[in-house]
Structure 1
Amino acid sequence: MSKESAMALDFAREVAQEAAEFLVEEQKKIRPETAGANLGIATKSSPRDFVTAVDRESQRRIIARLHEFDPAYRFVAEEDGAEALGDPSCPFAWIVDPLDGTTPFIHNRDNFGVIIALQKEGITQCGVTCVPRRKELFHGIRGGGAFFNNTPVRLRHTRNMNDAILCSNLIHRIQDINGIPMVTVPRCANVENYGSAAQEIGEVLKGCNDGVFFLGPRLWDIAAGFLMIEEAGGRSEYVFEEPGNVRSAIRGLACTAEIFEELRGFVFEQMGRLT
């Protein structure tokens, strides 16, 4: 655990909580009868992948604050516009999800949040996830552990895959086979989908669930949470679907150590293969 990473984590926690407070206030403007029509809702990569004016303003605020920590640090952020900031030769990059769980957010649910991580030469050094309406704050630092509301994280002891409750981005992984929507899942106790990586990884960090596996989310969705699961004694692995493109889709998993090898086999050998 480096002194620089510790200082960066403290700063990121402050910034994440500030941005989360902004999101809570903005969500109060949503009315069921308008379904968030005043939020400037559009879609991103698919008809089920929403972006709002709130995402963009949250990112603007976060980047402005993080830029104060060290102007040389680069950015990889969900919404466009941050790539030109920082020194291209700097080994550090902030990884920013300004509003994780946009769909729950516009449906006035409480499982949305802010995720910030810091990487050095592509390796996550620290990260924070703030889920404000649930009063949940997760943070972790490489070599220094993971914490949920300042209490050390204790992962669930998973007996085997038959005992495992997992989360995945099920809806976004659907494939149309002869007109029937289908998705692959491993054999386990249950697979759930909350629409928010912050909650899906958070349930593992709270000791309620056993792991997550994804195909499609981006680096900003998983960098902080995967580090925290590792720091709590679990294991994780991910690859970019487009090697070398840090903005491309992620294939990966993070889970308790007991089921890692079996779940890894599914993720990298079977997931998504329906034909």
Structure 2
Amino acid sequence: MQSKNIAKIVKPRLFDTHCHFDFEPFQSESTLHWQQASDAGVSRLLIPAVGISNWDAVQELTITAPQQCFYALGFHPYFLNTDCAEMSCSERMRFLEARLAASDENCVAIGECGLDAVVDVPPVLQEAIFIAQLSIAQNAGLPVILHSRKTQSRLLQLIKYHQFTRGGVLHAFSGSEQQAQAFIQLGFKIGIGGVITYSRAAKTRRAVAQLPIEALVLETDAPDMPLCGLQGQSNHPKYLPLVLQALAQLRACAVTDIAERLWLNSHQIFGLDAD
């Protein structure tokens, strides 16, 4: 009797480009959480810092999984009043430059940095620290991971005015195709996460259906930004395949048609080998 050849199902390679893996609930049993992500097809992830308080933590996590976990160093606007608030902008930047000089090859970006119009941190302070981080990233040849909440227009103005050319990722994109294209023109990838799983996010869903696939990367922002149907639960990198599935549905294509391109995009923007 002739044997049948059964094709092996191969999961697409996935890169979670924004996961706060040093936050709760991942701090306990981090090995288990990484195994769950790996079992779901997440081969690599990037852990952005929020300030001096977690620089050690994000670097230590990548040491345990070299070539799988990467990190970024920077100052998140949300934490400027609580993380080393007594430091001046210039003092913080001296710390960042010194840490970058001593960092290993797993440090591939500056961030999470940007502007937030909702948090109670003076806009003048936010902008000064953001501009200073752009300068450091430009000199270091590193991309930036952008945080933006109701500040996309101002971020674009500052990036253009200060002639930042290293690109990066516009994290947690929520907006129109026109807004996304403005960042793409400046060399940025667009971070696509759980927001596209919500039908109420009509404008964002229309945008990601039309944007060039070469400009997109996947992310979870775990443990934040839970997907539709998982509200009230901590987000997890193991749910990244659901974001990929939602993106494929919006673009009316198969997961296999876009997965490898998204993998390549993620490595390209961070200067990593995709093999």
TM-score range, shorter chain: under 0.3
Instruction: Name the one with the larger strand percent.
Output: 1
Higher relative contact order (CA 8 A, sep 6+): 2
Instruction: Name the one with the larger helix percent.
Output: 2
TM superposition score normalised by structure 1:
0.25
TM superposition score normalised by structure 2:
0.25
